[in-house]
């Protein structure tokens, strides 16, 4: 089982409860991520998929990215300089910028190793990237941040766009 699927299942157990976990693993064998997301969306309260997927993003971001981003932040002369340096490294997609007081993160491709392998994967899966951005910037800035997906490649957009309130 791919590690991304293991993270999703563990997050379901922790954030949606054992009953939800049992309902998606009862059949055994290969786990259909599309069916898992659809089941969460159709069975539980609004926001359950985000509560399950964001922690997957927290665990997906490599610690080396966080260390490198913290180092860049410490060396930067300003927040804009920090974003420019992050963009040079492509951490966060390479198109980070501030617009109307919000940090905007843009991916011009899907960086998830699982998403391209699953045909017709729900855009709800992209809540994982919200968690990825939240972990990165809350770690660097030393305070909570909130990321929100605006549009994604899985929504049939040409790019993934996230708004990060910091």
Q: What is the pLDDT of residues 93-151, one digit of tens each?
A: 999 999 999 999 999 998 888 888 888 888 889 999 999 999 999 999 999 999 999 99
Say if residue 29's pLDDT is above 70: no
User: How many C-alpha atoms does 152 have within 13 Å on its Cβ side?
Assistant: 21
Q: What is the pLDDT of residues 87-107, one digit of tens each?
A: 999 999 999 999 999 999 999
pTM of this structure: 0.87
Angle at which helix 18-25 crosses helix 3-15, to 10 degrees, equals: 140
User: Of the candidates 153, 147, 149, 150, which has an alpha carbon nearest to the alpha carbon of residue 112?
Assistant: 153
Sign of CA pseudo-dihedral 65, 12, 4, 163: negative
pLDDT for position 23: 75
Q: What is the C-alpha separation between 129 and 117, in angstroms, rounded?
A: 17
Q: What is the pLDDT of residues 152-164, one digit of tens each?
A: 999 999 999 999 9
Give start and end residues of each alpha helix (H) in 16-90.
Answer: 18-25, 33-43, 48-60, 63-75, 79-89
- Residue in the block written with tokens 């991304």: 4
Query: For residue 18, what are its two tokens?
Result: 């054992």
pLDDT for position 122: 86
Query: For residue 154, what are its two tokens?
Result: 């899985």
pLDDT for position 104: 98
Angle at which helix 48-60 crosses helix 33-43, to 10 degrees, equals: 140
Residue ranges of domains in the chain: 3-58, 60-165
Q: Report residue 46's pLDDT band, with 50, 70 and 90 as the boundaries.
A: low
């Amino acid at each position: 089982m791919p590690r991304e699927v293991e993270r999703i299942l563990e997050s379901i157990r922790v954030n949606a409860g054992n009953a939800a976990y049992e309902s998606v693993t009862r059949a055994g064998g290969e786990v259909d991520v599309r069916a898992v997301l659809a089941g969460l969306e159709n069975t539980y309260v609004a926001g359950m998929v985000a509560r399950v997927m964001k922690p997957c993003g927290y665990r997906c971001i490599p610690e080396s990215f966080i260390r490198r981003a913290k180092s860049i932040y410490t060396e930067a002369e300003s927040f804009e300089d920090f974003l420019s340096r992050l963009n040079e490294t492509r951490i966060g997609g390479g198109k980070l910028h501030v617009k109307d007081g919000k940090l905007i993160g843009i991916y011009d491709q899907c960086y998830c190793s699982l998403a391209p392998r699953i045909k017709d994967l729900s855009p709800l899966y992209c809540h994982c990237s919200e968690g990825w951005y939240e972990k990165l910037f809350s770690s660097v800035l030393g305070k909570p941040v909130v990321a929100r997906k605006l549009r994604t490649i899985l929504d049939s957009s040409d790019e993934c766009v996230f708004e990060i309130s910091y």
